[in-house]
Amino acid sequence: VQLSKRLDTLASLVPQGATLVDVGTDHGYLPIYLRNNKIIKSCIACDINKGPLENAAKHILRYEATNIELRQGNGLEAITSQDEIDTILIAGMGGYLISDILKNNTEVVKGSNLLILQPQSDYEMVRKLIHNLGFAIIKEIFIEEDGKYYTILCNAPGQEVYTKEIDYIYGKKNLENPSKDFIEWMNKKENTLQTLCTRLASVVNQQERKQELEREYALHQEAMRCIQ
């Protein structure tokens, strides 16, 4: 099975010999690739919906992958401590949903060694939750694929707190070591914020929105100074 850049990056973070759970597996490509390339020991591929699981089952047969168990359930609820999961992967979902999944099953989360997350939104909330769950962000990879930007967070148990707000908003690792794609995304965001500020300046009311935007822009400029 051939993976997209995003899925390939996610796969590169999974450790050799892992017992994995892939939450929201959809097509099942990630576990299939990881098994067929002898990277993981086994995988429980979960999804809340039946359709994706049927799809994944078809792909597992087609690519002759073994040791992948399909389970239907909301988030991590289909997982127990007996499954001895060491690596949790949740990708391609909104950050709010990912946060809910993690908060609703802290026992499974805290029993794992590695948490690989790719939220599509609400990054700040996800980074804060990672720290609150007793994990440290050990690696963050920011990539572009087909005009869309993705940040991938790799987290291991450990105490960590960020002192600056921008570190939670943009990712401390991204700011310390910005990828070409991250810089591109930051520049685009800069332009968007500038346009919005100019547009809003000519509006008489909307005071609250103006203040909110000014604050957002100030934080963005602070972050821009870190990567220049």
Residues that bind ligand SAM in the complex, under the rule CB under 6 A? 23-26, 46-49, 52, 74-75, 91-93, 97, 101
Strand ranges inside 32-112, DSSP E: 40-47, 68-72, 87-93
Q: Which is nearer to ligand SAM, 85 or 91 (CB)?
A: 91
Q: Which is nearer to ligand SAM, 88 or 93 (CB)?
A: 93
Q: Which is nearer to ligand SAM, 86 or 145 (CB)?
A: 145
| Contact criterion met (CB below 8 Å) for 144 and 121 | no
Question: Rounded to whole angstroms, what are the CA distances from 4 to 38, 50, 170, 182?
Answer: 19, 24, 24, 19
Q: Taking the complex as a whole, how short is the minimal distance between the CB of residue 193 and ligand SAM, in angstroms?
A: 28
What residues are paired with 43 via a beta bridge?
Answer: 20, 68
Q: Taking the complex as a whole, how short is the minimal distance between the CB of residue 159 and ligand SAM, in angstroms?
A: 28
Q: Which is nearer to ligand SAM, 92 or 111 (CB)?
A: 92
Q: Taking the complex as a whole, how short is the minimal distance between the CB of residue 91 and ligand SAM, in angstroms?
A: 4
Q: Taking the complex as a whole, how short is the minimal distance between the CB of residue 87 and ligand SAM, in angstroms?
A: 14
- Return the C-alpha torsion angle 171, 191, 214, 161, nearest 10: 0
Instruction: Give the angle 23-12-157 at the CA atoms, nearest 5°.
Output: 65
Q: Which is nearer to ligand SAM, 3 or 183 (CB)?
A: 3
In the structure encoding, which two tokens stand for residue 134, read together? Answer: 């007793």
Other Cβ atoms closer than 10 A to 122: 16
Q: Taking the complex as a whole, how short is the minimal distance between the CB of residue 201 and ligand SAM, in angstroms?
A: 38
Other Cβ atoms closer than 10 A to 83: 17
